[in-house]
Amino acid sequence: MTRIDAPWLTSDGARAVMAALSGGGQQAWFVGGCVRNALLGVPVSDIDIATDARPDRVSALAEAAGLRVVPTGIDHGTVTVIAGHQPYEVTTFRRDIETDGRRAVVAFADSISEDAHRRDFTMNALYAAPDGTLSDPIGGLPDLRAGHVRFIDHPEDRIREDYLRILRFFRFHAWYGDPAGGLDPDGLAACAALHDGLAKVSAERCGQEMMKLLAAPDPAPAVAAMTAAGVLTALVPGAGAGLLTVLIHVEGVAGLSPDPIRRLAALGGQEPERALRLSRAEAARLQQLRTSMQDETGPGELGYRLGATMAQDVLVLRAALGGREADRDDLQMAVDGALQVFPLRAADLMPGLSGPELGVALREAEARWIASGFALGRDELVSLAANRG
């Protein structure tokens, strides 16, 4: 008998929610990512609970136990119960009876077996009782241990229920799959055959999945498989995975943490910020990286103008483009450049200069200051500006 062991399992909040449900004669199981991650020994961010209780019954039992209830997804059988300042999503066992690839019409069910068969991957259909005892109704535990991301039942059926599962397939492989084992061939074939369905999914949801995928320690094999299956270009026309493998190596040598926007810049493609509906800040950063990785601005100036983080991102992207490792001295120069403050102000050149001439003089002085390695001081810059031309 397998049991999970995790701090959240015995927390006061989790115990209170499970006790409210089971004390009312209902089934209550932890399910999905929290169980999967507990078995893998990795952090858990959300705790989901499945039950045979209908939503109104869940609400009544929780409120009777003094817990706060928020009807976050009542149409799909989900209420959020707040216990110990922690939210717990409690969802009634259910099965999908109709779907258009984006939204599903559900019917409530009475067993974890029915509930399990409507989930996406076998490793996400693992359930744990309040004491941590594992229930595996469709054989997901061997897949989890093998790093085998496998759709439940027929891959095409699971994808047609929600085309976003195509991207989740690659994302889950990047995070939980065995790199040596490759991707599940049936799942990969289904993703290749049905990738046109991604057009039915909002760009925002696709973007969120891509950011999670690209945040994995090494998403390159998954993204390469996406490319081969035609999924990447269906999502971002013109994008390619060729540079990503090199970039990830360069990042590792340089000691940089994974960054989805930096990696997205390596994929190229036509207007990925629109295809993935990035936020304004993300889109601006992506555009800056794509522009700067192609120019020849020096590392010190990059740091001064863009800040240390952005400058180092540019330098590792340039290194990847050149098929080499990033120069450590350049990376440090970017950090040093970010600390520099131009010592000259407009008032230092007045009243001798004014109007457009003053602006030109300041820009020329700044360029000389940067070219000097930020060595020129205020007095030298004033003298140079006074004697220009």
pLDDT at site 353 = 86
Q: What is the pLDDT of residues 368-382, one digit of tens each?
A: 999 999 999 999 999
Report which DSSP code applies to 217. S
Is 193:187 a contact under the CB 8 Å cutoff? no
Q: Please give the CATH superfamily to which domain 147-232 belongs.
A: cca-adding enzyme, domain 2 (1.10.3090.10)
CB 77 within 8 A of CB 92: yes
d(CA 34, CA 49): 9
Average pLDDT over residues 201-218: 97
Whether the CA torsion 140, 143, 144, 150 is positive or negative: it is: negative
Is the pLDDT reported for residue 159 higher than 90?
yes
Both tokens of 332, joined, read: 């440090």
Mean pLDDT over 158-186 rounds to 95
Q: What is the pLDDT of residues 243-300, one digit of tens each?
A: 999 999 999 999 999 999 999 999 999 999 999 999 999 999 999 999 999 999 999 9
DSSP string covering 141-173, please?
HHHHHHT---BSS-HHHHHHH-TTHHHHHHHHH
Q: State the average pLDDT over residues 66-72.
A: 93
User: What is the CATH T-level fold of the domain 1-146, as seen in this structure?
Assistant: Beta Polymerase; domain 2 (3.30.460)
pLDDT-based confidence at residue 8 (cuts at 50, 70, 90): very high
Cα–Cα dist 387/293, whole Å: 36
Q: Could you tell me if 73 and 84 are in contact, meaning their C-beta atoms sit under 8 angstroms apart?
A: no
pLDDT of amino acid 96: 72
Q: How confident is the model at residue 25 (pLDDT cuts 50, 70, 90)?
A: very high
